[in-house]
Amino acid sequence: MRFLNRQTKQESIIYTVVWTILFIAPVVDLLFNYDAHHTNWIEQSLVDSWCTLLSFLILFLIHNYVLAPIITKHRKVKTYILGCIAVIALFQAGHCAHKPSDVPKGPPDVSQASKMALPPPQPPRYLRRPPVDKHDVSVFIIAVMMIGANLGVKSYFMNEEEKKRLAKLKEQSLEQELDYLRYQINPHFIMNTLNNIHALVDIDPEQAKDSIIDMSKMMRYLLYESDRQYVTLNNAITFLKKYLNLMKLRYTDMVNVKVDVPDASNDDVVLAPLLFIPFVENAFKHGVAYDKPSTINIDIEQKNGQLLFHCRNTKNNVKHEYGGVGLANVTKRLELIYGNNYSLNIDDKDETYDVLLTLPAMSASDFKRADKHHAASHPSQQQ
């Protein structure tokens, strides 16, 4: 039964229905043209029709399960063509060899016999059949058309299965890529935060202890929240505030951090996890100068069905050997998750760096539908 798995259920149903109709059609035709005076002739005609259909069915099965996979699966065009020629030649030769030398012209005219009450009519008259006639040509044309139709149907279903398979692989690839990007953010964030706590150990051990406790809470968020498909806006803001508290411990009063976020956001609004942190990391890394005052302003608001994240910071004009990993990752995540349904505007000036991220204020159900749609369509990556 292994060969039956090569085609889909829909394809098998189509073939079964078509061949069932073909074998029933002669019976229906004879029922409408039944003649009690020629029962034997009718029965022989039905048997001949079924034998012809059976020969076509055998040809179909050979092509469907032996020849068609040669071209649809293995792409061997020459082998397929040669196989079809050989099978059709054998099929045609079999038809010509087994056809009767004489064929019935048809039942005799019984109208006069019935009127004159004559004896039952004699057996039908016969005509001599040539070696090759129109019937043989018709058989050949029907065989070629049947093979072509079978190949067309099989190719259609093969293409549909291939599309489904590629869509599934594409979705799995997207999920793996998103997981990779998410896990790449976590070590990047942990490294920076540990550096902050390390700087506090000698300056203020008690604050360092409190910071470790805060970091443990943040690690719990990273472990249990960041792996989820989405988080609530409230949770994202809470995490952001804890992160800012840890970051501000490292710097002096010359760094002015202003935060304007909703105190009690609607829990129905959700977004992908860890979207804001890379922008804030970037602001601290490139916006804090130790020899002059520095400013970081962060605003989050809901407006007209959209979620706005605005981060502005001064620039320290210090070149870093390593940088931009978190920002590059979050940009790629935005493309993968939201497709074209977001905007990211970055205004990089000489003295300031301004980021405005606009996301749709979606509910959990809307987010799932949008994420599934973008995973299936796999939008192209922006450079």
Mean pLDDT computed over 378-383:
40
Q: What is the C-alpha to C-alpha distance for residues 153 and 336, in angstroms, rounded to an integer?
A: 35
Residues 6+ apart with CB under 8 A from 228: 273
Q: What is the C-alpha to C-alpha distance for residues 72 and 6, in angstroms, rounded to an integer?
A: 11
- pLDDT > 50? residue 5: no
- pLDDT > 90? residue 192: no
What tens digit of pLDDT does each residue of 311-335 get? 999 988 766 544 456 677 778 888 8
What tens digit of pLDDT does each residue of 21-36 get? 999 988 887 777 665 5
- pLDDT > 70? residue 119: no
Of 322, 305, 314, 309, nearest to 274 by C-alpha is 309
- What value does the CA radius of gyration of the chain take, rounded to a whole number of Å? 39
What tens digit of pLDDT does each residue of 6-20 get? 567 888 899 999 999
The dihedrals phi and psi of 281, each to the nearest 5 degrees, come to -55, -45
Q: What is the C-alpha to C-alpha distance for residues 228 and 93, in angstroms, rounded to an integer?
A: 67
267, 232 Cβ separation under 8 angstroms = yes
Mean pLDDT computed over 240-252:
81
373 against 340, higher pLDDT = 340
pLDDT of residue 6: 52
Categorise residue 315: left if φ over 0, alpha if ψ from -120 to 50, beta otherwise. beta
87, 62 Cβ separation under 8 angstroms = yes
pLDDT of residue 295: 93
pLDDT of residue 120: 54
- pLDDT > 70? residue 181: no
pLDDT of residue 272: 86
Give the least confident one: 150-154, 199-203, 280-284. 199-203
Burial class (CB in 10 A: 0-12, 13-18, 19+), 140: middle
pLDDT of residue 21: 93
Give the least confident one: 168-182, 195-209, 216-230, 336-350. 168-182
Chain length of the chain: 383
The pLDDT-based confidence of 380 (bands split at 50, 70, 90) is very low
- Rounded to the nearest integer, the mean pLDDT of the chain is 78
The pLDDT-based confidence of 164 (bands split at 50, 70, 90) is confident
Highest mean pLDDT among 108-122, 128-142, 173-187: 128-142
- pLDDT > 80? residue 83: yes
- pLDDT > 80? residue 93: yes
pLDDT of residue 382: 38
Instruction: Break the chain into its structural domains and give their ranges.
Output: 2-165, 168-377
The pLDDT-based confidence of 103 (bands split at 50, 70, 90) is very low
Give the least confident one: 97-106, 171-180, 263-272. 97-106
Amino acid at 379: P
| DSSP letters spanning 221-238 | HHHHTTTSS-EEHHHHHH
Residue 339: both structure tokens together: 């497709």
What tens digit of pLDDT does each residue of 203-235 get? 888 888 888 888 888 888 877 777 777 888 988
Mean pLDDT computed over 189-211:
82
DSSP, res 324: -
Q: What is the C-alpha to C-alpha distance for residues 361 and 269, in angstroms, rounded to an integer?
A: 6
Architecture of domain 168-377: 2-Layer Sandwich (3.30)
Q: Distance between the two ends of the chain, CA-based, in angstroms?
A: 50
pLDDT of residue 3: 42
What tens digit of pLDDT does each residue of 33-78 get? 665 555 565 677 788 888 889 999 999 999 999 999 998 888 899 9
99 against 305, higher pLDDT = 305
